[in-house]
Amino acid sequence: MFSRNSLILIGVATFLLFAMLNFPARVAYNWFVPDDIHLTGLGGSIWNGSAVEGSVGDMYFRNLSWTFKPFSLFVGKLAFDAEISTNAGAISTSAGIGFNGKTTLRDVVGSLTLAAVHPALQVNRIDGALNIQMESMTLENGVPTAATGVITVGNLQAGGLSPDSLGNFRAEFSTLDDSIVGVVEDVGAVISVAGTITLGSDRSYLFTGSIAANAQTPPALNQNLRFLGSPDENGQRQFRFEGVL
């Protein structure tokens, strides 16, 4: 038979365990989440919760759900597995939010609509099926500062060049100094492209490279390529696009 003190200890332990397992997500959000992450419609617990919508920097998302990894607190971060829906599509990842505000994403997998990623793409009539396979990505104040992985675009549409699909393209990203660098190439496309995308921590981007017609290039598209300038002796035209995200 348990003594009175033993019963009290068992009761207190049971209460604490119940409280931890059901610790409200909205309370955890107010205590732990950095100011640049905004969530609304919170439900569930800190361990398994959801939010109707939210934002990180300029990125809006909805239907967020997560499973928290409690032992991550012992190494100074809030870590969890998450699934997120955005205007562009769905993404899943394992995330870690440091108490210094730095966010680390691992195993980022997603299928998105390219045009919905950024307003500038819509303005320039650029669209396609964006597939993300990123090993890791670091965000500081909502801005990507490091990344490793591959992004592909299927059936790329570029209204300024052609009303038809340009084909498939691939970019492999890595971190170099204070910038994210992506090496771009065509993969079964109607034009040949080789270039480099550089993303700076100040939100600047620079996309440079060369473009050329190949055996699959339609005549109308070949004619439109002349607006990119005169080709060199190898039939390649140099391009440069830059700006701020």
Is residue 213 included in any domain, yes or no? Answer: yes
Give the contacts of 70 (CB within 8 A, at least 6 positions apart): 47
Full domain range(s) for residue 224: 101-244
Domain count, the chain: 1
Is residue 2 included in any domain, yes or no? Answer: no
pLDDT for 14 equals 41
Is residue 202 included in any domain, yes or no? Answer: yes
pLDDT band at 19 (very low <50, low <70, confident <90, very high): very low
Structure-block tokens of residue 76: 């100074």
pLDDT band at 58 (very low <50, low <70, confident <90, very high): low
pLDDT for 156 equals 93
Is residue 46 included in any domain, yes or no? Answer: no
Is residue 225 included in any domain, yes or no? Answer: yes
Is residue 115 included in any domain, yes or no? Answer: yes
pLDDT for 102 equals 82
Give the contacts of 156 (CB within 8 A, at least 6 positions apart): 114, 126, 127, 128, 165, 166, 167, 168, 169, 189
Give the mean pLDDT of 185-192.
93
Provide φ and ψ at 167, rounded to 5°. 110, -155
Is residue 188 included in any domain, yes or no? Answer: yes
Residue 5 scores a pLDDT above 60: no
Is residue 220 included in any domain, yes or no? Answer: yes
Structure-block tokens of residue 158: 């570029």
Q: Tell me how far apart the alpha carbons of residues 184 and 174 are, in angstroms, rounded to a whole number.
A: 12
